[in-house]
Structure 1
Amino acid sequence: MSADDDFMDFDVAAPSITLGDGDEFDQASIDAMFGGNAPVAKKSGLKAVIESRVISHERLPMLEVVCEHMVRSFATSMRNLTSDAIDVSLDEITSIRFGEFMGRLALPAMIGVFNVVEWDNYGVITVESSLIYAVVDALLGGRRGGGPTRIEGRAFTTIETTLVSKMLELALTDFAAAFEPIDQIAIALERVETNPRFAAIAGPTNIAAVATFRVDMEGRGGKFSILLPYATIEPVREKLLQRFMGQKVGRGNIWEEHMATELLKTEVSVDVVLGEKVMRLEDVRSFAVGQTIALNTAPDDALEIQSGGVQMGRGQIGQRRNNVAVRLLADMFKDLPQ
């Protein structure tokens, strides 16, 4: 370094630790040991798409309508069950991977596995511990206005499971009733589990729609969620994607009747092909008035019936009330191009 230099250059090496045996750890080794700045293996190909945290999903407007209908009916059902002032609200509707949802579930919790008979598939309904103890406290005559006492370090008893199962059955019944304008379904609660591993109805990477509800019971309560894998709602996915339905959800009977009426009024031209023959152009140019062309077709042979050049069936030509008529054969659709 000279006296005229304004700055000094230093070569600073990465800190290292030397052990008694002569082994030396640099900064990269220390970071790897404690998890700081650890290199992350990059995923590529199909694995990167499947395990991506970014979920591209379709919004299901009609599912939101179904959940809003369920909120009103379930609040009434809970009031009749507990005789308390119940307030039910829809927290959110989102999409998440099944494995991630189960991994986020705060334990202890109850997980109900239900079967949608018409769709031949399954879903789950989860209840967090605060709502479990609130429902049990309310059904067993606990004092109102205070939060229920939570007993840690033990599993749920048979009585608690039975009482909460009644609430789950009410929720699923109201959910099925709210689905009636879209599809007639029956939901059956098959079992209640406390371990997420025993409620695996889908693969960890499968995407599911989750509706989360909040139940308030005079200062106590909690949340419960209904999870439907996209494979489960596939039979009604097109209906759930609809945005504007008017008064009635589903098929429009007025349009069906209008289409049926208009179809009956539609006129269709039908041609009966008496026969076909391949001729030379010279013979065609020499056609004369009164000339007879043999088609090699007998009077009783089946003739092709066409509409717009498309073969529709077969029939026999004849006469009825001094008019030329065609009688359709019983096998008119046999051997037709599909």
Structure 2
Amino acid sequence: MAEQVLGQEEVDLLLKSLGKEEEVEEKSLGYKKFDIDDLEHISLGTIAGLEIILEKWSRLSRAKLSSLVVAINNVYKAETSLIRFEDLIAKLPVPSCINTFNITGLKGTHFLILDPRMIYSIVSVIFGGSAKPYRIEGKEFTKLELKIIKKVVDLLLSAFQESWNSILPGEVMYLETEVNPALIAPMNSKKEMFIQAHINIEIDGIEYPIFLAIQNSSLEPVVDRLRNVSEASEYVDYDSIIKNLIKNLPVSLSVTIDGGNFTVKDILEWEVGDTITLKTSANRPVKVNIEGVPKMYGVLGRSNSKKAVKILKLLDNKESQ
């Protein structure tokens, strides 16, 4: 039997008709194609425990960051959302400040993303400059800036560790800092969903965003425990938060050597090089004052070519009055 060969017109017609059967079927059945990757593994609205962790993280972050940058006015949680990995990294500038970390017991790699402008502002404020944001296009971080980034990241992850452990066990482990978004692109599928927590940090009246991104599917082993947590059962240790804030307040220290009574005639006769003899003996301890209030006794001396005072006794409240 002779083989039938299609002509060019018949081939063109066949190619044009490819896929039209599926379109007709979709229209007749009234449905559209659905990408299963669009499904949320976990619905944010049902995870009360995660919201508690993130709220606590924002509060603790303020207390910890204030120990590094006194000019921080506020840190507050803005929103929590679901985002694809490709959208997470699509709008990041170069350089970026993308910090990766793991949580023991959970699979996957998670991200702490800082606004590069915030880093430059923190460096400026630490050295007495303005918090005004800088242009960052094409600018690379210096060694000093990378060290400060590591300090900021350590403080933020430490705050997240405490918040996480208030509900779940697990250790938060810092991995690395990356400045080029293209280098983290191969780490996850483009359609991998992440839970993104957005907090704002205010430095001298200027706000900068911080993003914490947790792989959505990684929470599946602990999602039931997170759902069963209520705000009423969550204890917030405000005492510790207040104590941490107080511990970082600057105070003045002064040392009272002694005094004496002199006549105006004596004072008018004083000249450079004269020795003024005080009442107390040279071996008598001096008072050490905190904010003008006597709090301890000490003895004067030297340390590394500088004047110093060695503490001999701490005063109780009655002795301080």
If the length of structure 1 is used for normalisation, what is the TM-score?
0.54
C-alpha distance after superposition, 1:122-142 (max 9, x if no partner): 201111222121222223x13
Per the alignment, residue 58 of structure 1 pairs with 43
What CA distance in whole angstroms lies between the structure 2 residues aligned with 1:194 and 1:224? 15
Alpha carbons of 1:205 and 1:50: their partners in 2 closer, same or farther (altered >3 Å)? farther
Per the alignment, residue 188 of structure 2 pairs with 202
Higher helix share: 2
Per the alignment, residue 237 of structure 1 pairs with 223
Per the alignment, residue 84 of structure 1 pairs with 71
Per the alignment, residue 67 of structure 1 pairs with 54
Aligned-pair identity in percent equals 21
Residue 115 (str. 1) matches residue 102 (str. 2): yes
Question: Deviation at 1:75?
Answer: 0.4
Secondary structure of 1:182's match?
Answer: coil
Secondary structure of 1:231's match?
Answer: helix
Any stretches of 5+ residues in structure 2 without a counterpart? 1-21, 236-321
Secondary structure of 2:214's match?
Answer: strand
C-alpha distance after superposition, 1:120-179 (max 9, x if no partner): 43201111222121222223x1324x5143354322222212211211111111111011
Any stretches of 5+ residues in structure 1 without a counterpart? 1-40, 250-338
- RCO comparison, higher one (Cα < 8 Å, 6+): 2
Instruction: Flag the structure with larger Rg.
Output: 1
Pairing 1:290-305 to 2, within 5 Å after superposition: none
Question: Deviation at 1:105?
Answer: 2.5
Residue 126 (str. 1) matches residue 85 (str. 2): no
Residue 220 (str. 1) matches residue 206 (str. 2): yes
Alpha carbons of 1:152 and 1:181: their partners in 2 closer, same or farther (altered >3 Å)? closer
C-alpha distance after superposition, 1:246-293 (max 9, x if no partner): 3248xxxxxxxxxxxxxxxxxxxxxxxxxxxxxxxxxxxxxxxxxxxx
Contact 2:74 2:203 in 1 (8 A): yes
Pairing 1:1-338 to 2, within 5 Å after superposition: 48-50=34-36, 52=38, 57-59=42-44, 60-139=47-126, 141-144=127-130, 146-150=131-135, 152-200=137-185, 201-242=187-228, 244=230, 246-248=232-234
If the length of structure 2 is used for normalisation, what is the TM-score?
0.57
C-alpha distance after superposition, 1:16-48 (max 9, x if no partner): xxxxxxxxxxxxxxxxxxxxxxxxx98x99984
What CA distance in whole angstroms lies between the structure 1 residues aligned with 2:32 and 2:128? 54
Contact 1:212 1:224 in 2 (8 A): yes
